[in-house]
Amino acid sequence: MKKLLILIPVIAILTLGGCAWQAVSKVPPPSDVFCTTGDMKDGDYTPIGMVRAMKINLAFSCIGVIPPLYPMFGPQIQDALYEQLAKEAKALGANGVINITTAMMPMALIPGIIWIPVVEMSGMAIKK
């Protein structure tokens, strides 16, 4: 009976704590490259070219069936991808990236257990 009183809380903590996550959102620091998912309203820009950033992670499924969606596109990954887009735009001589789109492709390494989520952002580098 004593073992059962210890075993039940331990199982409950492991089960409920295994899928816990915390969302952290922060305001991106101002940079010299303007990034937006929309278009420029005035149209007063020169298109330079397309830029693309990709991030690959290793994720474990907590339920065992569904791919873990949150780790694929958390705030840290989004910030890193925006920084990569800004670096590529600077390399082309641009000072802005517009029409940014995001694609997420979960690939199962071991279906139901280990996933390799690929997150890709792309957009048009412009010069204002």
In DSSP notation, 59-72 reads EE-SSSSS--SGGG
Reported confidence tier of residue 29, pLDDT bands at 50, 70, 90: low
DSSP category for residue 73: G
Q: How many CB atoms lie within 10 A of CB 51?
A: 23
CATH number of the domain encompassing residue 84: 3.30.110.70
Residue 7, in any domain of the structure: no
* Domain of residue 28, residue span: 23-127
Strand partners for 125: 49, 97
Q: Encode pLDDT of 67-77 as tens digits.
A: 555 555 677 78
3 state DSSP class of 88: helix
Q: Specify the pTM.
A: 0.64
Residue 6, in any domain of the structure: no
Residue 4, in any domain of the structure: no
Number of folded domains that form the chain: 1
Residue 66, in any domain of the structure: yes
Least confident of 21-25, 78-82, 102-106, 117-121: 21-25
3 state DSSP class of 95: coil
Mean pLDDT, all residues of the chain: 77
Name the region of 7 (left: φ>0; alpha: ψ -120 to 50; beta: rest). Answer: alpha
Cα distance from N-terminal residue to C-terminal residue, the chain: 73
Q: Mean pLDDT across the stretch 44-50?
A: 90
Residue 1, in any domain of the structure: no
Residue 2, in any domain of the structure: no
Residue 114, in any domain of the structure: yes
Reported confidence tier of residue 66, pLDDT bands at 50, 70, 90: low
Q: Encode pLDDT of 3-15 as tens digits.
A: 777 888 877 776 6
Residue 81, in any domain of the structure: yes
